[in-house]
Amino acid sequence: MTRLQCPFCGPRELREFQFHKTLPTGPGGSAYERTYERVADAERSLEHWQHVGGCRAWLHVERNPSTGAVLAVVLLGGMRP
């Protein structure tokens, strides 16, 4: 994994992006669970990133943390560019 596909800017080097946090995979759960607990999934990780060194868009990224493959990048909130 060396690049991310920004919906606005196209494929850009990873150093332009900032990882923010991983997300719970499902809805629900207590405040404690959503704040502290992480679902360790070796094949799928849902994350918030931001293109800080570019258009500063907030991104919803789905990745495989075992291979580094990027499965999907969409704008946060489901908007279209």
Partner 1 sequence: MTRPIPWPRRYSAWSLLRARRAGPGYWRPLWTGRTLRKAYDVVVVGAGGHGLATAFHLARDHDVGRIAVLERQRVGYGNVGRNTTIVRSNYLLPENHYFYEDSLRRWECLSRDLNYNVMYSPRGVVDLALSEDSLPALARRGNAMRLAGIDAELLDQDALARFVPGLEPRRPRRFPLVGALLQRRGGTVRHDAVAWGYARAASALGVDIIENCAVTGVRESGRAATGVETTRGFVQAGRVVFATAGHTGLIGRMLGVALPIETHLLQAMVSEPIKPLVHSVVVYVSPGHGETYICQSDRGGLVMGGHLDGFPSYTREGQWHRLEDVVQGAVELFPQIGGVKILRQWAGTNDMTMDGSPIIDRLRYDNVFVNAGWCYGGFKAIPASGAACAQLVATGTAPDLIRAYRLSRFATGHTLDEPGQGPFPVRL
Smallest distance, Å, CB 9 to partner 1? 17
Q: Is 78 in the site for partner 1 (CB under 8 A)?
A: no
Binding residue (CB under 8 A) for partner 1 from 36, 77, 78, 80:
36
Number of residues that bind partner 1 (CB under 8 A): 27
Q: Is 33 in the site for partner 1 (CB under 8 A)?
A: yes
Give the CA dihedral 13, 18, 24, 30, nearest 10 degrees: 180
Q: Is 71 in the site for partner 1 (CB under 8 A)?
A: no
Nearest to 4 by CA among 48, 44, 38, 41: 48
3: β partners: 13
